[in-house]
Amino acid sequence: MPVAGILFLHKSNNHKPVDKFKAIRRIDKCIGEMETKQIISDKASEANSAETHRATMDTLLDALQTENESLFDVTLTVTAYNYTGNDNYKKNARRAMLTGNFRPSTLYGLQIEGFKSAAVSPVSTLKSQERGINSSSLAAAFPFVRTFVMDDGGILLGENNKSGFPFIFNIWKRGNLYQNSNAFIIGKSGSGKSYFLKNLILNEWSNGTRVIMLDPEAEYLALTRNLYGNVINVGNAREGRINPFHIYKILTEDGTPAEPRVTFNTHLKMLESFFKIVLADAPLDVIELINNLTVETYERMGITENTDCSTFPADYFPLFSDLLETLKSKDTSQMDELTKRDMRTAELYLQKFVNGRYSDIWNAPSTLKVNADLIDFDFQSLFANKNNVVANAQMLLVFRFIEQEVINAREKNKNGANLRTLIIADEAHLYIDPKFPIALDFFYSMSKRIRKYNGSFIPATQNIADWNANEELRGKTSAIIKNSQYTFIFKLSAPDMKDVLDVYRTGDSFNDEEQRMIISAVTGQAFFVGSTELRACVRIQAGKCARELFSEEKKEEEQSES
């Protein structure tokens, strides 16, 4: 109840149940009085008011007799504290109550009873002021209960949009309602998603979390450089190269590093997917020939399915030039014409990776090394080239590398460390390709497994419709959302809201009020879902020093000073 000039209004109510027989008798009496008033009243307005009152009592009587309804005697006491020194604070408080259709009593001569009633006490001292209220109406009067997030060990990311309470969020907490640390972020362009993620990244990095960013729009380069993190331009090999033939450890379903045989065979399957991407127009016989030559090339290097490659240096693994050498070493004199043709075709394709346009990206040992706790994989130049072949193939390799980093963190945790890994995919819809669901497969895998690695996976997207191009994508998208403990929904258009409802149709959805809240949200305002019991509308805020780190200015100032 807002009251001008008064900083604080304290409201308390005392309520006690009324015996059902007594409650029915009181209602019968009231109904009789209203019937009499209808008959004897000379004014139509009074008769109409009595008729309305009687209809209300009839409904209440029916609820008491046939439903699980009860009656309570209730006293509501309001204490106004005049912290501002306003001489009219009593009138202001009284006017506010009258405006709300309350009939207040100033309790002349009953100040002691009023004080007792206003305190937390089971004793009812104002029996003359008691009014009967049914249990449903009394329960509806308890939006005194506030929804807020103040997690122990959390970080301040903003405030509750309604109450102004601080939004202190701990993504790593565990409990009966909190099974993992995954989150899902959605909102239209300009709604504040990136600002929120920068705020989250900065705070988590400050608390010792290792953050890996998938950055398709180069929005996080300034923050990464200001925090002296690693920036990896995925579109070229200057900052780091990933050799497709480099064998990394893989994750198993139970969260343990796989055996060498499983690792090797899984890597061959990955290479098969890689070849299908970069050699999309090649005949299947040629791709199968290259797959077989790949196994022979590994054998020439002393690598078989029983070899543990986890300690091998980067230059120990074969390259495309080695694969081409294996092909050229074959004796073609005993081959039939069809096989010879496939050999010539395979050689032409492999030349692109040895001396052609792909040689600078993939025909060299892996040089990608990351030593910082904030890593930005910059995909902007890769996506800007509009070459889906290179983009999908490079994504496949980068995701394998990130998986290896997660495994390394787990190994360190086994030795007593307590490392946390946060993987964020901004504008995640840009990675989705219905023909080659590489990114979605990675997102799906991370959302299911990263909990076992003391990690968190957070994709952010503008439009969830791109995730639902076909039924297979829709199934994995739904699984990713279900595996996300937390959801932050920024402003959405009405069609996008419908897409979200379609994905959430099998789980907890959103009521009409929550949908209106999301559609009418302003920039920086998000609807937060923490569990089935915790939902809140929050405003994302960051301090001045934090905002300075979000831009290039901070780093440039330091360089000019030095």
Choose the weakest-confidence range: 249-263, 289-303, 435-449, 516-530. Answer: 249-263
Which two structure tokens, joined as six digits, stand for 500? 């979200």
What is the average per-residue pLDDT within 236-254? 77
SS3 assignment, position 44: helix
| Confidence label for 282 from pLDDT (cuts 50, 70 and 90) | confident
Cβ pair 182, 481 in contact under 8 A: no
At residue 146 the predicted structure's pLDDT band, cuts being 50, 70 and 90, is low
Whether the pLDDT of residue 464 is over 70: the answer is: yes
The region that residue 253 occupies, defined by phi over 0 for left and psi between -120 and 50 for alpha, beta otherwise, is: alpha
pLDDT of 559 higher than 70: no
**Confidence tier at 79 by pLDDT (50, 70, 90):** confident
User: Edge-to-edge strands of the sheet including 71-81?
Assistant: 8-17, 71-81, 131-134
Q: Which of 52-56, 290-294, 508-512 is modeled with the greatest confidence?
A: 290-294
Is 423's pLDDT higher than 70? yes
Residue 481 CA to residue 497 CA, distance in Å, equals: 15
Residue 460 burial class via C-beta count within 10 angstroms: exposed 0-12, middle 13-18, buried 19 and up: buried
Which pLDDT score, from 0 to 100, does residue 265 have? 92
Say which residues have a Cβ less than 8 Å from residue 504's Cβ, sequence separation at least 6. Answer: 481, 510
- pLDDT tens digits for range 97-142: 788 777 888 777 887 777 777 766 666 777 777 777 887 777 766 6
Query: Residue 488 pLDDT > 50, yes or no?
Result: yes
Question: What is the predicted pLDDT for the residue at 429?
Answer: 87
Q: From residue 459, how far is each of 117, 228, 266, 486, 532 by CA, in Å?
A: 52, 24, 25, 11, 21
- Name, of 236-240, 369-373, 471-475, 488-492, the range with top average pLDDT: 488-492
For residue 551, what pLDDT is reported? 81
Instruction: Using the predicted structure, report yes or no on whether residue 6 has a pLDDT greater than 70.
Output: no
Lowest-confidence range among 10-19, 79-88, 362-371, 429-438?
10-19
Highest mean pLDDT among 60-69, 91-100, 104-113, 328-337: 328-337
pLDDT for position 5: 40
The per-residue pLDDT for 134 is 81
> 118-122, 510-514, 542-546: which has the minimum mean pLDDT?
118-122
% of the chain beyond a pLDDT of 70 = 90
208-224 average pLDDT score: 93
* Average pLDDT, integer, range 463-480: 77
The values of phi and psi at residue 310, to 5°, are -65, -25
Instruction: State the Cα–Cα distance between residues 164 and 284, nearest whole angstrom.
Output: 62
pLDDT class of 469 with cuts at 50, 70, 90: low
* Consecutive H or E run containing 374: strand 374-378
* Segment among 116-120, 459-463, 500-504 with least mean pLDDT: 116-120
Whether residue 412 has pLDDT greater than 80: no
Model confidence band, residue 7 (pLDDT cutoffs 50, 70, 90): very low
Predicted pLDDT at 357? 82
pLDDT confidence of residue 419 = 87
Least confident of 290-299, 345-354, 470-479, 514-523: 470-479
DSSP state of 521: P
pTM of the full structure: 0.72
Indicate if the pLDDT at residue 471 is higher than 90: no
User: What average pLDDT score do residues 307-330 get?
Assistant: 91
Confidence of residue 2 (pLDDT cuts 50, 70, 90): very low
3-state helix, strand, coil in the chain (%, to 5): 50, 15, 40
Q: What is the DSSP string of 313-371?
A: -GGGS--HHHHHHHHHTS--TTS-HHHHHHHHHHHHHHHHHHTSTTHHHHSS-------
Question: Given pLDDT bands bounded at 50, 70 and 90, which one contains residue 456?
Answer: very high
**Domains of the chain, start order:** 8-140 (no CATH), 180-239+372-562 (3.40.50.300), 241-367 (1.10.8.730)
Task: Collect all residues with Cβ–Cβ distance below 8 Å to 53 and sequence separation of at least 6.
Answer: 30, 34
